[in-house]
Amino acid sequence: LYTAPESCEGRCGEPLSEEDECHCHAECERLGGCCEDYDRHCRPDGFSRRRDSITDQELLELSEQLYGLDHNRARPTDISINPQHEAAPGDTGRQQDLSPHPLYKYVNEELFSKPTYSSFIKLLDNYQRATGREEEVTAEELQEQDNFLREVMKTEIMKKLFAFLHGKNRYGSEQEFLEDLKEMWFGLYSRGDGEQDSSGFEHVFSGTAHPGWGGGTGQCQAGGLIPGSPLCLGEVKKGKVSGFHNWIRFYLLEKQGTVNYFSHNFNGPWDTYPDVLGLQFSWDGFYKEVGSAFIGCSPEFEFGLYTLCFLARPGRACHLSLGGHSLSIQTYPWTKSTYGSGRRFIATAYVMSP
C-alpha cells in the first residue's frame, strides 16, 4: 500500500533520484541500481503499473490542492507568535533560554471547538510519556481514535487524499482507507523492552519521554530543521526530547507552564498559516535541540500530508509545495514489526526545511 524505499512496489517509472536507495525507472537497467524486485513489478504485466506510481509532479500538485482545502486553518488574527531570538545553526545545542517571553502571545481558542480540533485534543492525554511502559488502551480511548478519524474523513482534505490514492489503486474503498489509517497511525509497537509502548500518532503528535533510555528507531539523524538537515521526532533519548512537534500540543503545554520556549533557528517564508518554525525548547526539563512544527494548520492538514508522504515516499524526502513555496516531509516506517499482510506502522513523520 505504500512505496517501500527498497522496493519498486508502486514506484515503476518514478524519476531517478540520488536520494533513492534503489531505482524503478527503465533507465536503471542501463545505468544500474535497479531495486531487486524491479523485474517483478515493472516488467510488462507486473503488479505495479507505471500509471499507478506517484510522481514528484503529482505530489507538488496535490499538496497545493490540500493546502487550498485547509478551510479549518487559523486565520492571521487567530494566532500571534513571538519568535524572539534566532539561533545560529551551530548554537541550537547550547540549551540556553534566550527568549524571555512565551512563543505564543495569543491563540483564539474558539478554533479548538471545531470537530477535528476537539477530537484531536482529546487524544493527547491518552499516552504515557515514558517509553518502556505498556500502553493500556481503554474502550473510551479506542472510541476517541474512531471519533478523530471519522471527523477528519469528513473534511475536503481527506476526501481529496482518498480520491487520489483510490485513483492510484492504493485503496478500493474509503472504509479500507479508514481502517488502514487506524492501524498505521494508532497500532501499537515496542520502542523499548518489548512492551507495546508506542504508536505513530503518539510519537509524532504527542511525544513521550524517558530520561535514561538511549534507544530510538535507529533511523533518525542528528540536528534538525537547519536548512538541508532533517529532524528525528518522538521520544526523549538520553535526557533530550526528540519528539512532539504539533503546534496545538506545544501551545497547550506552554500555557500550562511545562514547556519553556528558548529560541528558533528557522522561520518559513509563509506570510499566512500554516507557517513552519524550527525551535528550541525544554519540556519538563528535557531539551529539544531543534523541533519542527507547522504553525496554525488544522489537524487534518498535518495528518493528511504525513499520510500522503508515508504512502508515497517512506524513508525518503517527500517534496511538496504550499502556496508556491517548497517544503519537504520525511517519514520512516517502523521496521521491527508489521500488521496485516506485512504492512508497516509509521515510525516518524516530520516537516523539513525547504
- Catalytic (active-site) positions: 203, 245, 288
Please give, one letter per residue, the 3-state secondary structure of 234-281: CEEECCEEECCCCHHHHHHHHHHCCEEEEEEEEECCCCCCCEEEEEEE
Residues 6 or more apart whose Cβ sits within 8 Å of residue 181: 149, 307
43 CB-near residues (< 8 Å, 6+ apart): none
Residues 6 or more apart whose CB falls under 8 angstroms from that of 6 comprise 21, 22, 35, 36
How far is Cα of residue 232 from the mean position of the Cα atoms in its chain? 10
How far is the C-alpha of 7 from the C-alpha of 22, rounded, in Å? 8
Sorted by sequence, the CB contacts under 8 Å of residue 141 that are 6+ apart come out as 123, 126
183-186 own/partner pairs: CB under 8 Å, 24+ apart: 183/339, 183/340, 183/343, 183/345, 184/307, 184/310, 184/339, 184/343, 184/344, 184/345, 184/346, 185/303, 185/307, 185/346, 186/145
- Nine-digit cell string for 308: 500522503
Q: Collect all residues with Cβ–Cβ distance below 8 Å to 238 and sequence separation of at least 6.
A: 212, 213, 214
For the record, the C-alpha cell of 220 comes out as 533518525
Q: Which of these, 258, 136, 263, 153, lies nearest to 207 by C-alpha position?
A: 258
- Angstrom CA distances, 305 to 6, 108, 206, 331, stand at 22, 24, 17, 11
